[in-house]
Structure 1
Amino acid sequence: MQNEKLRVYIEGTLFAAIAMILSLIPIGIGASFSISLGTIPLTFFAIRRGMVPGLFAGFLWGILHVVAGTAYILNIYQFIIEYGFAFTCVGFAGYFSQTIIKNIKENSLGTAKKYLIITTFIGSAARWFWHFVAGVFFFGDYAVWGLDPVTFSLLFNGASMLATIAVTIIVLVLLFDRASSMFVPKLKS
């Protein structure tokens, strides 16, 4: 049992590293809009292994931004919100992990796919919430077109969230349709 837990967290560390590598691919317009490709492997991991390991991997992904020098840190509060809370929250995509795995095992693939889409939205929306908060409180001065900080953060962070959710769902559904068994972890004896 102890070895299996260790294996899960090592796997989470690898998925966090993959997410970080994908985060280095520039897919954005300016500083306010981007598609977060790192969400794809983190969501897959959270669905495969569950919410707690997903939260762990998401937290590592946030810290890796600091280690890699890609974090934009204004102060300790913004750092905690964006690189602590926000990236960690992608792990909430593991909320329906057991339901998805159970439905795959029972060959109820339509139901499993429905929950995969819902849980992807949950993880990405949870992350977006914290980026929205940071946008309002720390980046409101950068609002364009005379927008107030709330509207600015809602529009720009919201557009990024919707684009990230769409790409993540498309990739995970394609992967699911091709090999749904990849979402079910194999236990080693």
Structure 2
Amino acid sequence: MSKNLNALVEAAIFAALAMVLSFIPDFVNWFTPSFGAVPLVVFALRRGPKYGLLSGLLWGLMHFVLGKVYYLAFSQVLIEYILAFVSMGLAGIFHKPFQTAIRSKDTKTAIITSFLASLLAVGVRYFWHFLAGVIFWGSYAPKGMSALWYSLSVNGIAGLATLVLVLISLMLLVSAHANRIFLPK
């Protein structure tokens, strides 16, 4: 198989894995981390932004196919299921320095680079959720709470929980099996 075809197949597999992990039940309603973010960041660091963005798009589109879309307006769906999920592929911007660190067995630099990639991807994704929260979900805020504060608290907690989950996962993966996981053959 060609390298391009391998990368496309991997993009679909990682998106499917992210979707499967999305079915882990919420343990604290809206404040649950996004478990699917882990394979998306791993894949983006493995294959770069082009394929990372594609995998994020596939993950977002799978929500439609599997009926996991909360629809208020077309623009809300576009923001929360296309832009937000595609944003996870932004971690791939760091794939070259990350892979250079992996090849040179510089674990510290690889972990720092993966942390920066995660911060970018998760930060941008939850920015989109925050924006949608202010614009579309603000009417669901408890009485007396502003839409801004409501969205910041809900999406901020979920975003931080997701970031912590991704950072811990990456630290473990980079320390244990970096060559096999992050360097395509």
Letter in 1 for 2:54: F
Instruction: Give percent identity, aligned residues only.
Output: 39
Q: Deviations 1:46-71 (Å, cap 9, x if unpaired)?
A: 01000111000001100101111011
Q: What is the alpha-carbon distance in structure 1 between the residues aligned to residue 101 and residue 166 of structure 2?
A: 20
- The aligned residue for residue 42 of structure 1 is 40
- The aligned residue for residue 21 of structure 1 is 20
Contact 1:140 1:148 in 2 (8 A): yes
Moved over 4 A (4+): none
- Alignment map for 1:37-186 (pairs within 5 Å): 37-144=35-142, 146-181=144-179, 182-186=181-185
Flag structure 2 segments of 5+ consecutive residues without an equivalent: none
Q: What is the alpha-carbon distance in structure 1 between the residues aligned to residue 144 and residue 160 of structure 2?
A: 23
Q: Deviations 1:116-154 (Å, cap 9, x if unpaired)?
A: 111111100010010001000000001125211111111
Contact 1:28 1:35 in 2 (8 A): no
Q: Deviations 1:83-109 (Å, cap 9, x if unpaired)?
A: 110000000111110100011111222
Q: What is the TM-score with the length of structure 2 in the denominator?
A: 0.96
Contact 1:86 1:126 in 2 (8 A): yes
Secondary structure at 1:96 match in 2: helix
Q: What is the alpha-carbon distance in structure 2 between the residues aligned to residue 85 and residue 68 of structure 1?
A: 18
Flag structure 1 segments of 5+ consecutive residues without an equivalent: none
CA apart distance, 1:115: 0.4
Contact 1:135 1:153 in 2 (8 A): yes
CA apart distance, 1:155: 1.1
Letter in 1 for 2:160: L
- The aligned residue for residue 8 of structure 2 is 9
Contact 1:33 1:157 in 2 (8 A): yes
Q: What is the TM-score with the length of structure 1 in the denominator?
A: 0.94
Between the two proteins, the alignment pairs up a number of residues equal to 184
Q: What is the alpha-carbon distance in structure 1 between the residues aligned to residue 168 and residue 107 of structure 2?
A: 16
Q: What is the alpha-carbon distance in structure 2 between the residues aligned to residue 76 and residue 28 of structure 1?
A: 28
Letter in 2 for 1:180: A
CA apart distance, 1:158: 0.5
